[in-house]
Each structure stands twice: as C-alpha cells, then as structure tokens.
C-alpha cells in the first residue's frame, strides 16, 4: 500500500468565527480570487506557502491552525 497525504484546512470554520467573513472578503484580504479561496476550502487546490501564510495572517492565527495534512494509505 502506498502512503499519500492531503492538505486539509479549517478556513470555513475560521471564516465563521471571523463574523461570517465571505470568501470574497477573504480573497480581497489575501490578494487572491474568490475562485481560488473556494478551491482551497474544498481541498481542490493546495496553496503556495506564501498564500497559506497570508490566509493565516488574515485570521490572525498561526499557519498550523489553518492548514494541516493527513497521511492515508491507498
């Protein structure tokens, strides 16, 4: 069995706690498009380290609190 890993995130939860911040508002804060935020949130796109830091910074938390990775076997 091969080990694979996927990046997970808590962006939806953090948006909720940030006064139900919209994807568009977060996108504007980090200089990305809403489409990209939507893809990251859905786990369809793994952001660059720079964008990941910007997202964490937008919520005023450490990057590890927003993004994590899990190992799974296929």
Partner 1 sequence: MSYQEKRTIVSIITGVIILAAYIIYSYGRYQTGTISSDDLKVWAGIILIFIGIGVISTIIIQIIFHILLSISIAIQENMKTGKCDDKEIEKTINAQMLTDEMDKLIELKSMKVGFVIAGIGFVIALTTQLLNYPAAVLLNVMFISFSVGSIFEGLTQIYYYRRGIKNG
Look at the alpha carbons of 36, 42, 44, 45 in this order and tell me if their dihedral is positive or negative. positive
Kindly state the smallest distance separating residue 2's Cβ from partner 1, in Å: 16
- Told to check if 62 binds partner 1 by CB under 8 A, we report no
Task: Report how far apart the first and last C-alpha atoms of the chain are (Å, whole number).
Answer: 6
Integer Cα distance of 11 and 27 in angstroms = 12
- Told to check if 53 binds partner 1 by CB under 8 A, we report no
Beta carbon nearer to partner 1, 15 or 30: 30
DSSP assignment, residue 22? -
Kindly state the smallest distance separating residue 14's Cβ from partner 1, in Å: 20
Beta carbon nearer to partner 1, 51 or 61: 51
């Amino acid at each position: 069995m091969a080990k694979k890993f996927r990046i997970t995130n808590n962006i939806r939860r953090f948006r909720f706690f940030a006064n139900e911040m919209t994807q568009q508002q977060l996108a504007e804060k980090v200089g990305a498009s809403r489409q990209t935020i939507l893809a990251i949130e859905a786990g369809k796109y793994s952001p660059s380290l720079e964008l990941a830091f910007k997202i964490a910074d937008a919520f005023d938390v450490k990057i590890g609190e927003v993004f994590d990775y899990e190992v799974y076997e296929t």
